[in-house]
Structure 1
Amino acid sequence: MAATTEAVIVRAPAKINLELRVGPVREDGYHELATVFHAVALFDDLTARATAPGAGVSITVDGIQADEVPTDSSNLAVKAAELLAAHIGLESADVAFELRKGIPVAGGMAGGSADAAAALVACDALWHAGLDRETLHELAAQLGSDVPFSLLGGTAIGGGRGEVLTPVLARGEYTWVIALADHGLSTPGVYGKIDAMRAAGEVAQPTPVPEIDDELMAALRAGDAEGLGRTLHNELQPAALALAPHLEKALEIGRKVGALGGIVSGSGPTTVFLARDSSQALDLAVALTASGAAVDVRRATGPVPGARLVESIRG
């Protein structure tokens, strides 16, 4: 009798936005985006185990901020399993997830999206669905704007609401310092704040069709870390700083230590800094920690691949 797959382990990376341009609100309630996604070596690991028919989906969580991760049907990994099961015609999504968090929760680094992408890859393997990447991408887009990139990884331009991806041929490896805050920010709340600030004339009005900076793309093509540092940009940053003013302290420390660039990641509150090398990354990490500007600091390189199977356990 052929061995069955009892469990699989999938690893999915965090993302940062090297650039994030936010257009006006669309008719569907989303904002038109132009962004450059970059996957970094900060990971969530998802173990998926086969369960008895009719058992449904369960999830347990450990790792950083584990107590802040929902374990009910609102969890994106649970939604991903149920969506894939429905797509392939299963009566019940029968799987037990064990999630180990390494990506901050509500930190603007797509931790929930990484988990959803991991769940799609895991359940596809566990249930021997054999779905191609295009189909997985389509399912990912139904789950959230960042989920398709969590599948893809690397460096990519995101259009639409972020789900329309074009891979970028970027040279080199970059060293990042990631400063974690002591609380999360609501992504809808940050978008709502930037809309309010624009309406009040506190920040510039949005470009109707946002576009990526040519200088940033040239830096990526050339593997020019200094050029990339100069062109990091996030149009949500004023809103994140308005909602969490203490984040400016971390950005100021990055400037003082001489980081090539520093930025709020996505909707925040995580801040990320591009370091010249591993030595400067250590200096940045020490300064951010000693100042109290961050509750935790991680160092990571990028780009790295998207969600991928790292182990399959057969019975």
Structure 2
Amino acid sequence: MFSKRTRPSTPKESSHFLPHLVEFQQGYGGVVSEKIAAQHVQLQQEREISRASRQCVICPVLLLYGRCRTLTCQYRHLLCEVDKSVSSAVPKQGRIQFEVLKICTPTHFASRLLTLKKDESADWLKLPHKDQYENVQKLLKDYYSQPENIRKLREPCRQDKCAYKCSDGRFERVSITFLPSNSRDSDIRVKNLDSNTAIYHVKLHELVQLPEDLKGFPPLALDIRLVGCIPFNGEETWQSPDLQPVGEFLKEGDICEASICFSLSHTIFVEQLEVEQGSYRELLERNRLSRYDNEIGNCLRIMCNK
């Protein structure tokens, strides 16, 4: 009887199976050799650099806990310059009031900034985001009411600002976050800039050119994340049923107040979040929706400052 000869694995196959092998061995208390561990570290670094260069979606577990221990996770864990380049339109300290546009999870909200208090002795300063949003919507409506202005996007590039026609006929500003090599018949990933922070896929023919004067406005919606509150049941991520009880004390359109911990270009991490019924953190804990982990703030701060 002849034994079947094994075919040597290709580099591509090795890069696919190595994280699964390491995760399996660690999960069952196995010992990972120094050589395999070194190969795995190098592979992970190469993957993260590639994901960052393509601006892949940041890992939701990383944004919640400040770390992700899943070796086979397909999300991005390395912040790039686009994430760290915080514009003057995004406050880095002080206390803010904001409108909740969408409740993504119990601790993650698409929001619009309203006012800023730079320190305890300062007065509340009105921020321009709400007025700018109303102005942008009017300009979009007026501009695209002229059929000759609806021009298809011919040669899209990553980070391009363009417009997407919604199902109700409105046009919304979006930014291209991922562009496949053959974008003419593939999905393009975009992020909504103004009415929420949703990331979704569209076809190239659904995008139209945006006039230069409308490209100049900064994103008028951003993500706000409450630091330190994690799922009560120990899950790595929030589950859909967690949103229903939150609706009893937080709704879309509500005005909230919070203290800024630190910021990225698209996200403000906050604490001491106040809603109409009082401390939001206490409401989550009282309803057994979350528990507080004091170390998460340090993990997130280190992540943002790397």
Which one has a bigger Cα radius of gyration?
Answer: 2
Q: Whose strand fraction is larger, Structure 1's or Structure 2's?
A: 1
Specify which structure has the bigger relative contact order, considering alpha-carbon pairs within 8 angstroms and separated by 6 or more residues. Answer: 1
TM-score higher than 0.5:
no
**For the superposition of Structure 1 and Structure 2, which TM-score range results when normalised by the shorter chain?**
under 0.3
TM-score (structure 1 length as normaliser): 0.26
TM-score (structure 2 length as normaliser): 0.27
